[in-house]
Amino acid sequence: MIEGIPCAARIAVLLSPFCAVGLAFQPSSDGPIQVIPRGLSKAPSATATVLRVNSSLVLIPVHGTTAGGASVTGLKKEDFVLFEDGVRQTITHFAQGDAPVSAGLLLDTSGSMKNKMAKASEAATEFFKFANPGDEFFLVEFNGRARLKVPFTADWSGIAADIAGAKPSGMTAMLDGIRLAMTQMKHARNARKALVVLSDGGDNFSRRNLRELEAALIESDVQVYAMGIFDSDYSVRHTPEERNGPRLLDRVALDTGGRDFPVAGLDNLPDIGVQIARELRNQYVLGFAPATRTADGKFHRVDLKLATPEADSELRTYYRQGYYAPGQ
């Protein structure tokens, strides 16, 4: 266990209960679990993905998995130790539950997806099978242009039918698709929000660039997951956009605190759909009220440690690295 440290900051902010940034929990040789950041060890840049909104409570959603990807459930408030800017905070709110989700599916219907659509459709259906009452979904398709195919609905069967009947052709405007989905998400009824991208990566036709998309994601409370269906056959001549596909999807997903699931083979797609659905259903939410209120407009880093010494294997957690306080 880590000794308590006096609190030193109260910030008026609220982070949506559906945000995350990845860290990896690894057991040390001495027994206590050590938390190792997955990148993002420096102070965030101006385009770091953080949220800036007003409230007296900071909520940190956390998802934990084993090294094999299975969700970790059954942890208690006492199993977590939370810090803001290096100062230990008192966790005053703790919840684990299956709250309703507003989710948008983004389907790549460009020409390169022709031989992948059957498995992509199967993966989407597996994802939908975990739907609960109160959930809602929409579908955005993108090739040379992005379009809202099905607006928010509680009946996912129509979306599944549209995906099954999609006819791939043309170029790829994935970033435009994500931007359109973020606009649609403004109509969401639920606090927990996610976008799930099914694509073989790359972007060669978007009107918006990644920098513009990142700027929009800074203030967004939407988490992006990606099923990256990449062609690993290096004997085939790939365009620069195709070669950049894995890095682009990974960057977009991690910027929102989500995850990119590279798909090694098409037969793995349905299992990835199940894994994403389960991850959305198994999250902890930790809440704390910083000790000193200030409106400095600065970034405040959040770190999380696991206090339980009884981890038999490596654990991984995902949560947002911090937030911007409101300005004066």
The predicted model scores a pTM of 0.72
Q: Looking up tokens 């929990």, which residue turns up?
A: 25
Burial label, 57 (beta-carbon count in 10 A; 0-12, 13-18, 19+): middle
pLDDT at 215: 65
Q: Which domains does the chain have, with CATH numbers?
A: 102-281 (3.40.50.410)
Counting as low any pLDDT under 50, the low residues of the chain are 1-54, 234-235, 312
Between the CA atoms of 31, 37, 42 and 45, what dihedral angle is there, to the nearest 10 degrees?
A: -160
Q: What is the pLDDT of residues 185-226, one digit of tens each?
A: 999 998 788 999 999 878 888 988 888 887 677 566 788 899
pLDDT in tens, 4-14: 333 333 333 33
Q: Which two tokens stand for residue 142?
A: 């993108």
Do the beta carbons of residue 201 and residue 235 sit within 8 Å?
no
Q: How many residues does the chain have?
A: 328
- Which of 56, 53, 65 minimizes the C-alpha distance to 92? 56
Between the alpha carbon of residue 122 and those of residues 44, 118, 165, 264, the distances in Å are: 38, 6, 12, 16
> What was the pLDDT predicted at 301?
83
- What is the C-alpha separation between 303 and 62, in angstroms, rounded? 11
